[in-house]
Structure 1
Amino acid sequence: MKIGLFVTCLADLFRPQTAFAALRLLKQAGCAVEVPRAQICCGQPAYNSGDAKDAKTLARDVIGLFEGFDHVVAPSGSCAGMIRSHYPELFADDPDWRPRAEALAAKTHELTSFLVDVMKFRPKGVELRASAAYHDSCSGLRELGVARQPRALLSAVAGLELTPLPDAQSCCGFGGAFCVKYPAISNAIVEEKAKAIESTRADLLLAGDLGCLMNMAGKLHRRGAKVRAFHVAEVLAGMGDGPAIGEEA
């Protein structure tokens, strides 16, 4: 099975170890993985801003680059949701590109969903003595139904205690360009999220989207909290004892 790994912009620019963790997990699951060097943004920022023209330009490049794989996997419910849910909408009136968009959408997956639902994968030999709170990112949860899959995988990590996070399904306030357009509202939302995370007294904050994690980690840091943030793939790949998000510098 040939898998195309869609790295995502945030992983490429800010947190490469998330992509390396995803690569490691996919190989452990028995996949042959390729990472196309020419890959670019999925087009979601343009799409969410109403710029359909540029979103289509980017989407065509992604479709052309990834349509030859058996499956496309992204360590991001946001990017996977864009390809899976919105590419067909973008090309709804285009008889040439709509079938190609729909074909790619049908075989695009968020990482933990692919590992659990398609590969029936369960990590082995991973240990991390810590407690963790898990945040359900909006796109993964609401567009793709990702909720039980990351928790099922984390349950296989020896020594890791999952601590329930109050309102785990509530938005963190990031929302891509939302946090730029409406900073006061975004800040108020992430403030409440940070308080909820701190109330768990967990050592770690985990999630499946880097945008959410960077937003929450930044607020936790400004509040002086000691919670360390990691992408769920990093913990599952045995990289949960390295630098947390925001600690790289």
Structure 2
Amino acid sequence: MNVALFVPCYIDQFFPDVAISTLELLESQGLSVAFPEMQTCCGQPMANTGCTADAAPVARQFVEMFSGYDAVVCPSGSCTSMIRNHYSEYFADDDQRFIKLRDSTFELCEFLVDRLGVRTIKGRFPHRVSVHSSCHGLRELRLGACSEQMVPRENKLRILLESLEGVEVVPISRQDECCGFGGTFAVTERETSVAMGVDRVQDHVQSGSEVLVAGDMSCLMHMQGLIRRREMPMQVMHIAEVLAGRPLPTKQTASAAR
């Protein structure tokens, strides 16, 4: 399979080890993975703020760059959803190159579980863990069940996480509540975003979790800042880092990374 790795811009700039972990994880499944070096942002920030004219050329460039691959894998439900669910307004209904790319672009856990049929990852993570399911992952990609729909769905992230030795996934009270990040929402509605984020993090802390794990680094970036400023007893990790065998960051390592 001819696979390309798409790395969201915030991961590229602030959390590059998430991208490296994703690459290692895909290669551990026997895949040869390409990284198109001229890739840029998917255009979601512009689209979210209503700047459709600015997002359109970004979307066209993305399709031009990635359409030749059998599959495009992204360690972000948010960016994956932008391509799958929101790029259509920039292309004609019969644009076959776009349709092919749309149907072959996957979030990381979705790709592993649904496309490759992986349900077990060899590794060990001996920690108490709680899972944050991002809104885009649940409500647009259907990577798990959400309370708005009474439809049972397997949670792709949990399937892989629970296959690791030593991990204990602890329940939280509100499994599909938004963290309040919402991209530009966190900037334009800062007070509301912070209140939502604190409420979300406290639910995880009260569960007794050591590590908050999610598939979207944007959500984790938001909650990580709230945790750090309030000195809460919890760390955050992207699912790619956990599955790739990264150890739990020490306080010194985590502080340096921030």
Whether the aligned pair in 2 keeps the contact of 1:190 and 1:215 (CA below 8 Å) is yes
Whether the aligned pair in 1 keeps the contact of 2:131 and 2:214 (CA below 8 Å) is yes
Whether the aligned pair in 1 keeps the contact of 2:121 and 2:243 (CA below 8 Å) is no
Aligned: 1:199 with 2:206: yes
Identity within the alignment, %: 39
Aligned: 1:82 with 2:86: no
Aligned: 1:116 with 2:123: no
Q: CA offset at residue 129 of structure 1?
A: 1.1
Unaligned stretches of 5+ residues in structure 1:
none
Q: Give the 3-state SS of the residue equivalent to 1:158 in structure 2.
A: coil
Q: 1:238 aligns with which of 224, 239, 245?
A: 245
Unaligned stretches of 5+ residues in structure 2:
145-154
Q: Give the 3-state SS of the residue equivalent to 1:240 in structure 2.
A: coil
Q: CA offset at residue 100 of structure 1?
A: 2.7
Aligned partner of 1:40 in structure 2 is 40
Aligned partner of 1:57 in structure 2 is 57
Whether the aligned pair in 1 keeps the contact of 2:7 and 2:75 (CA below 8 Å) is yes
Aligned partner of 2:125 in structure 1 is 128
Deviation track 1:41-72 (CA, whole Å, cap 9, x = no partner) reads: 00000111111111111011110100000000
Root-mean-square deviation (Å):
1.5
Q: What code does the residue aligned with 2:6 have?
A: F
Q: CA offset at residue 37 of structure 1?
A: 0.4
The alignment covers a number of residue pairs equal to: 246
Aligned partner of 2:67 in structure 1 is 67
Give the alignment's TM-score, normalised by structure 2: 0.91
Q: CA offset at residue 120 of structure 1?
A: 1.1
Rounded to whole Å, the distance in 2 between the matches of 1:142 and 1:236 is: 24
Q: Give the 3-state SS of the residue equivalent to 1:127 in structure 2.
A: coil
Deviation track 1:175-216 (CA, whole Å, cap 9, x = no partner) reads: 000000100110111111121111111110000001100111
Q: Give the 3-state SS of the residue equivalent to 1:3 in structure 2.
A: strand
Greater mean deviation of Cα atoms: 234-243 or 21-30 = 234-243
Whether the aligned pair in 2 keeps the contact of 1:113 and 1:146 (CA below 8 Å) is yes
Q: CA offset at residue 115 of structure 1?
A: 0.2
Q: 1:248 aligns with which of 247, 253, 257?
A: 257
Aligned partner of 1:100 in structure 2 is 97
Q: CA offset at residue 102 of structure 1?
A: 2.1
Give the alignment's TM-score, normalised by structure 1: 0.94
Q: Give the 3-state SS of the residue equivalent to 1:54 in structure 2.
A: helix
Rounded to whole Å, the distance in 2 between the matches of 1:121 and 1:210 is: 22
Aligned partner of 2:16 in structure 1 is 16
Rounded to whole Å, the distance in 2 between the matches of 1:137 and 1:186 is: 14
Rounded to whole Å, the distance in 2 between the matches of 1:210 and 1:124 is: 21
Q: Do the aligned partners of residues 33 and 53 (structure 1) sit closer, same or farther apart at CA in structure 2, a change above 3 Å counting?
A: same
* 1:121-160 pair list within 5 angstroms: 121-147=118-144, 148-160=155-167
Q: CA offset at residue 226 of structure 1?
A: 1.8
Rounded to whole Å, the distance in 1 between the matches of 2:255 and 2:63 is: 32
Q: Give the 3-state SS of the residue equivalent to 2:125 in structure 1.
A: strand
